[in-house]
Chain A
């Protein structure tokens, strides 16, 4: 049964899908050399079908699109998608519209892990493409596990306020450690700051494959719990009484969303804001029922991130604005605007 103010969920999903494809095509065409959407479609078609390129498209243009722009846009899209799904889960589980996986210290934990790896690798002269992301990922997960263990000990079960408070305290603690490392190892720290700001520069097919798998698997697995998440927004007692195994589901969903956030930020850096605002905006259209909220949040987060990245790399080209700064610069005013507008109605 739908409230009159709500748009039909099927229409929202259809619109989301169409907008997603449009965004990916347009963003791929935007850059130092602009390419029309129609040419993008023809390039992709020829690459996929293996047929020769239409004669009016230059081969080097086609390879820029196929191996540079499209991977970058797709990475941004899938990263934004899964981050916003995870943010949505945290808001529902903690019954707090301001919660996100970052509230649990995923972001500061990942940064600290990356910083430690940086310093240690410079000292011990070890290196590797995946060292930074991997250590960031491990540290992020350890932080969340620590937050969960501490809050379970402090209060009865995983009470939302306890979880949020513990997450914030630990985040601040990690940030202090990060500052300490910054003071002691200023030279090495440059890389950490670059990583922290987040970027989709230089992403290739392998990254696309990884992020796409994470995004789709994550969205599907989390969606399986849509009914439990609905009931859990009413608090722990109410959901237990209704028959949900609250503690088990809560632990599992927090772990899952931290895992997927960790997997994503380890490749992209800790890009904020997408996970916080996308679910809010989407809720205004689909309502809070997770059956629709989760998939639409995925699409909307993807669109948002792909646009933010495209804006970041084009407005002051050839220099780039870090995508994390763009998400906040566009996101904050947009969020306020949509909130005021929908509340007026």
Chain B
């Protein structure tokens, strides 16, 4: 799947109180690429993902496989892009299985049809990816934040779209599942031309899971390139307004002292 942003601006609020977050952004992502979006809080990472998921109006041009995003129907966008959001609302006690099955919404035609073989297989696979097979019959209202995060990850994966957008997916995950998550995402993106675009808090996840990094600051792109070229001390310092390397050194020496 090919994604092309040209002079894209977007923001929140209406007329008088409009706040522009993304400012005149251009880049292109080709099929099968895996890209990290990094930047400080409020730099526009989530906004960019929201634009791409068709959740926010924008000016400029966003093309998916050559077609303008604005002209695509809701169902067409959903067939191309899954988006794992940061916040989840759960008011009602669906089971884990029911929740993940909802990801197959587009594949079930009409109100009377039920899940078919392909839907069940996709859901089973996604449950396994999220490490949820054992708790598939639990109510989502009884789950911890980390478990819920895995349920929504499984739901996004069950949709089997060519592109996956992740917004800080490893938040709430304990170490065991974080490791598992990394392995699963790696194997997911190695499958037939899957495109991954992810916002990470943890820089090492970006190094480990993606080949390209786009750095954002105040809604503009500061650097964009392969990990080797863009993960540089001076860029990090500019983006995060602090000396990232010395901060990491401090952390590392702390580890060495105790382990």
List the interface of chain A (C-beta within 8 A of B): 1-4, 92, 95-97, 156, 223-227, 230-231, 233-235, 237-238, 240-246, 283, 287-289
Contacts and interface: CB of A to CB of B under 8 A. Distances in A.
Nearest to A1: B97
Given A3-B95, A96-B91, A243 B138 contact: no
7 contacts: A1-B95, A97-B91, A223-B111, A227-B108, A240-B55, A241-B53, A241-B83
B105 A3 contact: no
**Most central of A92, A96, A241, A283 by chain B CB within 10 Å:** A241
Nearest to B136: A1
Nearest to A242: B105
A223 B79 CA distance: 24
B89 A227 contact: no
Interface string B114-135: 0000000000000000000000
A242 B93 contact: no
Of residues A233, A234, A235, A246, which shows the largest number of chain B Cβ atoms within 10 Å of its Cβ?
Answer: A234
Of B73, B88, B91, the most chain A CB neighbours within 10 A belong to: B91
Interface residues of B, number: 37
Chain B CB within 10 Å — which of A242, A283, A288 has the most? A242
B79 A243 contact: yes
A96 B12 CA distance: 25
A2 B96 CA distance: 10
Interface of B: 12, 14, 50, 53-55, 73-75, 77-79, 81-83, 85, 88-95, 97-98, 102-103, 105-106, 108, 111, 136-139, 159
B14 to A, nearest CB: 8
A1 B98 contact: yes
Given A230-B102, A242-B78, A288 B136 contact: no
B82 A2 contact: no
Contact of A3 (B79, B89, B137, B159): B137
B82 A3 contact: no
Q: Which 8 A-B pairs have the closest CB atoms?
A: A243-B78, A288-B92, A235-B89, A243-B106, A1-B97, A224-B111, A245-B74, A241-B83
B117 to A, nearest CB: 15
Nearest to B89: A235
Contact of A289 (B74, B94, B105): B94
Contacts of B94: 230, 233, 287-289
A226 B102 contact: no
A243 B105 contact: yes
Nearest to A235: B89
A235 B152 CA distance: 13
B137 A244 contact: no
A151 to B, nearest CB: 13
A4 B135 CA distance: 12
Most chain A CB neighbours (cut-off 10 Å) among B81, B93, B106: B93
Contacts of B81: 241
Contacts of B54: 240-241
B91 A237 contact: no
Given A3-B137, A227-B111, A241-B85, A95 B105 contact: no
A95 B90 CA distance: 8
B44 to A, nearest CB: 17
A223 B83 CA distance: 28
Nearest to B120: A1
B139 to A, nearest CB: 7
A289 to B, nearest CB: 6
Contacts of B14: 156
Given A227-B105, A245-B73, 7 more contacts: A1-B136, A238-B85, A241-B81, A243-B77, A243-B106, A287-B94, A287-B98
A179 to B, nearest CB: 34
A234 B98 contact: no
B55 A237 contact: yes
A233 B92 contact: yes
B168 to A, nearest CB: 15
A238 B140 CA distance: 15
Contacts of A233: 89-92, 94
A231 B101 CA distance: 10
B92 A244 contact: no
A91 to B, nearest CB: 8
Contacts of A225: 111
Given A231-B102, A240-B54, A3 B139 contact: yes
A293 B54 CA distance: 31
Contacts of B93: 283, 287-288
Best-surrounded residue of A3, A97, A243 (most CB of chain B within 10 A): A243
B137 A241 contact: no
A258 to B, nearest CB: 21
Nearest to B91: A95
A256 B135 CA distance: 37
A234 B88 contact: yes
Given A3-B139, A241-B82, A243-B75, A231 B105 contact: yes
Nearest to A6: B95
B232 to A, nearest CB: 34
A120 B95 CA distance: 54
A103 B163 CA distance: 40
